[in-house]
Amino acid sequence: MDSHLIYLLKKYNLHLQYGPSHEKGCIVRTPASFPDFLMVKEGLSDEETEKVILHEIGHAKNDPSIVGNYKYIGSAHSCSEHGANNFMVHEKIKQYVALGNEPDEANYVNIAVGLGINNFDEVREELLKYVAK
């Protein structure tokens, strides 16, 4: 596993666990003195696993600031998913640029589709953060 992912898991006090699941990933909350479990569905490709882990870390980072019950309040669910996707997009674009790709030449629609994101503008805006002015 990538050392940056290991760093992020430690930073947000998450223990990675693989297993059978109906969902690709989720966070299982534990008592405060223990790390939460970041559960990932076994059998996913390495690329999909990385996206799921980053998305779930985004939940760990952003969800404590969201008011409302994620399961029952649509706006809380929408905010939570947006924050998790935004974190994943940020990390993947940072990785894309670090590999030497030119952000101003990137096809943000193709990148968004590859990341499973419907909000193409979110990807475009993240890429623009790396364009020299």
DSSP letters for 2-32: -HHHHHHHHHTTEEEEEE--SSSEEEE---T
31-89: per-residue pLDDT in tens?
Answer: 888 999 999 999 999 999 999 999 999 999 987 655 556 665 777 778 888 889 999 99
**pLDDT 10s digits, 72-131:** 577 777 888 888 999 999 999 999 999 999 999 999 999 999 999 999 999 999 999 999
Closest CA to 27 of 62, 74, 2: 62
Give the pLDDT confidence of 14-25 residue by residue, as tens digits: 999 999 999 999
CA 123 vs CA 12, 56, 93, 95: distances in Å: 24, 18, 8, 13
The pTM (predicted TM-score) of the whole model is 0.89
pLDDT number for residue 72: 59
Domains and CATH numbers, the chain: 3-128 (3.30.2010)
Confidence of residue 133 (pLDDT cuts 50, 70, 90): low
**DSSP H/E element including 123:** helix 120-128
